[in-house]
Chain A
Amino acid sequence: MSETAAMQLGDHVGRMYRVALRIVGDANDAHDIVQDACVKALRNVARFDGRAAPATWLHRITVNCARDHLRARRRAIRDGLSMNDEITGMLAATETMPSARAERRELYDIASTLVESLPDDCRSAFILTQLDGYSYDEAAIIDNQPRGTMASRVFRAKKILLEQMNARIDGRTQS
């Protein structure tokens, strides 16, 4: 990554922030994590061999920084962090988010709760594309999967979520 490309870190800051925020759940901590990730990226820019897109390289650095932050915050670690930790922060962070239309807010609350229950493979695909905002191509590189597999997993995650969400909404409607 050239110095010029390094300056373009600003293009990736939004997504890095969302990744950090959904893991740690605190806006200030997420801001600090992004700062740390930027520093690490620039310190290691010589090691960036260009095989992966900068977005995917920065994603990995951001996730590692966020996990380091969580580890520092916790007393005990069990086999590293579970996948559920990837969105624990998101659920906490949503409490401070401004709500839009009530219906959209309800859907959002349901979706964010149900994401935890998704199977591991399609949960990762869903988080990367629907929450972090990566394209299918970028998410495929991050998860080391073909694009077609990524598209299939995203669809499967959505289908499961929609079925569960509809069941919840229908259950509330009938009661």
Chain B
Amino acid sequence: MKNKTDEILLSQLADGELESDQINDVLLDVLDDADRSRQLAEHLRLRQSLGQWRRQKPAGPVIAVSDHPKRYHFPWRLGGLAVAAMLGGALVLAGIWAAGDLGRNDKNGGLPTLDTVTAEQMRQVASVFALRESVAGPLKWYAADDEKIQLASARGSEVGRKPVAVLLRLAPTGADSAQARTYVIVCRDRESATIEFPQAGGASTVRLHLLPGVRDGKVNIQYAITVDGPELAPKTSAALSGQRLVGLEHTPLGQLALADELVNVDASAWVIRKGLK
């Protein structure tokens, strides 16, 4: 004789809420009892009938975003994907940092490590770049640090050039590793990008000039990096320029001497391939 507990078990079985051993026991009982088989079938049909509702998902991408000052205006309504695209880079950066040991709270006391770029990091950079282009159109370059995102539109032949991702890190030597800064840049093969990162709160301004050239799967980068000293300090600046063949493993580009501070400059770079999202 069936009881309420048995019926509740049938309900849970239909919802996939039983442990595997319990599933076996209940199914064996059901197979021997026509009435319970009928009941289970009813529960399953009800579950099945609502399956199409449970399978509903947003038609377009939903990007988890963090707050970000709206510096750039796009000719789209500020809702849905447009808002997500405007704000998406900051969190993706955070994700890159957290997921790939580039984060500020890693075991190295906050100093981002950039040993080798992971596939997940590559996917994240590709995703955010694709999303930006889906809103703003083809980009000549995209640049983001932990405070802001900058874009430049591509024109003419620039549109067809391969996108190249560059992760650039400036890390002061010495104990204060929390001041290391990482920049995510996507630019175009054989197209120069000049990007300025003014820093809030009187910190130093970083200017980058990059000219990547793809060669044998690696990226040959011509670079010039200048750093102006903080506003409150006596006016100082430092510059570093050169050319390196850079791959997924971090490559030292040199050091910047800024007043009494020495800053290590490292970079990783790769070609963003279509479909790597």
Q: Interface residues, chain A, CB within 8 Å of chain B? A: 2-4, 6-7, 9-10, 13-14, 17-18, 21-22, 27-28, 30-32, 34-35, 38-39, 41-43, 90, 94, 97-98, 100, 104, 107-108, 111-112, 129-133, 135-136, 151-152, 154-155, 158-159, 161-162, 165
Contact = CB atoms under 8 A, between A and B. Distances in A.
Contact of B46 (A17, A39, A136, A158): A158
B54 A18 contact: yes
A39 B67 contact: yes
B91 A6 contact: yes
Contact of B53 (A18, A155, A159, A162): A18
B66 to A, nearest CB: 5
A159 B7 contact: yes
B99 interface: yes
B46 A42 contact: no
A151 B11 contact: yes
B74 to A, nearest CB: 15
Nearest to A98: B52
Given A7-B64, A38-B64, A42-B91, A136 B17 contact: yes
Contacts of B60: 31
Interface string B133-162: 000000000000000000000000000000
Nearest to B97: A3
Contacts of B87: 39
Nearest to A16: B62
User: Most A CB atoms within 10 A — which of B7, B43, B47, B56?
Assistant: B56
Rank and list the top 3 A-B pairs by shortest CB-CB distance, nearest first: A107-B49, A9-B64, A7-B95
B58 A30 contact: yes
B8 A151 contact: yes
30 contacts: A3-B91, A3-B95, A4-B95, A4-B99, A6-B95, A7-B92, A7-B95, A7-B98, A7-B99, A10-B62, A13-B64, A14-B57, A34-B58, A38-B64, A39-B65, A39-B87, A42-B64, A94-B53, A97-B52, A98-B52, A104-B49, A107-B45, A108-B49, A108-B50, A111-B46, A151-B11, A154-B15, A159-B7, A161-B46, A162-B42
A112 B67 CA distance: 37
B46 A35 contact: no
Nearest to B10: A155
A4 B98 contact: yes
A35 B83 contact: yes
Interface of B: 7-8, 11-12, 15, 17, 42-43, 45-50, 52-54, 56-60, 62-67, 79-80, 83-84, 87, 91-92, 94-95, 97-99, 103
Q: Chain B's interface: helix, strand, loop or mixed, by majority?
A: helix
Contact of A158 (B11, B58, B67): B11
Contact of A31 (B45, B54, B58, B94): B58
Contacts of B7: 155, 159
B80 A31 contact: yes
A130 B47 contact: yes
B80 A35 contact: yes
Q: Chain A's interface: helix, strand, loop or mixed, by majority?
A: helix
Given A14-B58, A108-B53, A112-B53, 10 more contacts: A3-B98, A3-B103, A4-B99, A13-B64, A31-B60, A34-B62, A42-B64, A104-B48, A162-B42, A162-B46
B65 A42 contact: yes
Contacts of A31: 58-60, 62, 80
A17 B60 CA distance: 11
B94 A3 contact: yes
A159 B42 CA distance: 10
B178 to A, nearest CB: 16
A151 B17 contact: yes
Nearest to A94: B53
Nearest to B43: A158
A44 B195 CA distance: 32
B8 A155 contact: yes
A27 B59 contact: yes
Contact of B64 (A6, A32, A158): A6
